[in-house]
């Protein structure tokens, strides 16, 4: 019997005090064009750690001082969890503010938002649209274009998302586990399924007001 091929996830760490480098990095990761709202000082340090096992990407991002950047839609969906500080998103018809512990959709295919952060640290998970649509097909038959209809989950789903990401982070922390496609594939689908259950969308019928369970 042939053993499954194992490939270690790509891991990267990046730190910079240069706004130009920070601008380029945010543009690559989130489609963001950076503007600096505060003068640089000793606190001005962008710190990024990423783990990319293939089906999804997990990032730990610390943003310096107060910054503003435009967020433009892309093919992937980025879900953020605020660890420290404050993050605001100015959307087309509303302004949403997020505090430590909050979970929110940071980037989605139709994003045309402005993000303003204050001494912020966030964990983000990037999920391809194709993965989300494929997982949804197991529950319903989605049509063509689809979208999220809410950018923040209710408290129960917020807690569920945080538990799920902690579980996946624990998997990625173990080198042998992180290199196993037999585990990474289900982990990616678990993240996608949890995202679809947490954030109302047009791929799946919204089960509310019925009570949802894990």
Question: What's the pTM value of the predicted model, to 2 decimals?
Answer: 0.83
Query: What Rg, from alpha-carbon coordinates, does the chain have?
Result: 18
Q: What string of DSSP letters covers 115-173?
A: EEEEEEEEEEEEEEHHHHHHHHTTTS---SS--BS-SS--HHHHHHHHHHHHHHHHHHH
- Flag whether pLDDT at 9 surpasses 90: no
> How many whole angstroms separate alpha carbon 68 and alpha carbon 109?
20
- Asked whether the beta carbons of 89 and 106 are under 8 A apart, the reply is yes
Looking at residues 148-156, what average pLDDT do you find? Answer: 92
Query: Alpha-carbon distance 197 to 81, whole Å?
Result: 16
What's the pLDDT band for 114 if we cut at 50, 70, 90? Answer: confident
Identify whether the C-beta of residue 46 lies closer than 8 Å to the C-beta of residue 25: yes
Token duo for residue 100: 């430590």
pLDDT per residue as tens digits for the range 55-110:
899 999 998 778 888 877 777 899 999 999 999 999 877 889 999 999 999 888 77
Contact 151, 104 (CB under 8 A): yes
How far apart CA 95 and CA 72 sit, in angstroms, is: 16
What number of H helices and E strands is found in the chain? 5, 9
Give the model confidence (pLDDT) of 128-149 as tens digits.
988 998 898 865 545 556 788 8
Local confidence band at 199 (pLDDT 50, 70, 90 cut-offs):
very high
- Return the DSSP state at 109: T
DSSP secondary structure code for residue 63 in this structure = -
**CB neighbours (10 Å) of residue 138?**
8
Q: Which one has a higher pLDDT value, 16 or 83?
A: 83
Q: pLDDT digits over 19-45, tens only?
A: 788 888 877 777 666 666 555 666 678
In sequence order, the 6+-apart residues with CB closer than 8 A to the CB of 205 are 140
Residue 12 contacts residue 60 (beta carbons within 8 Å):
no
């Amino acid at each position: 019997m042939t053993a499954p091929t194992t490939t270690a996830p790509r891991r990267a760490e990046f730190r910079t005090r240069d706004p130009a480098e920070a601008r380029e990095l945010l543009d690559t990761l989130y489609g963001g064009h950076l503007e600096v709202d505060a003068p640089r000082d000793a606190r001005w340090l962008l710190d990024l750690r990423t783990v990319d096992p293939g089906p999804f990407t997990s990032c730990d991002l610390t943003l310096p001082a107060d910054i503003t950047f435009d967020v433009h839609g892309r093919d992937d969906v980025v879900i953020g969890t605020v660890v420290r500080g404050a993050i605001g998103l100015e959307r087309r018809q509303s302004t949403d503010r997020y505090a430590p512990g909050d979970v929110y959709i940071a980037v989605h295919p139709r994003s045309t938002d402005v993000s303003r952060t204050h001494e912020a640290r966030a964990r983000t998970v990037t999920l391809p649209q194709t993965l989300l649509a494929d997982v949804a097909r197991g529950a319903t038959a989605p049509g063509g274009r689809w979208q999220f209809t809410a950018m923040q989950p209710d408290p129960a789903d917020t807690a569920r998302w945080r538990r799920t990401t902690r579980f996946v982070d624990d998997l990625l922390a173990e080198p042998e586990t992180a290199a196993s496609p037999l585990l990474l594939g289900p982990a990616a689908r678990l993240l996608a399924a949890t995202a679809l259950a947490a954030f109302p969308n047009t791929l799946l019928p919204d089960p509310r007001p019925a009570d949802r369970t894990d």
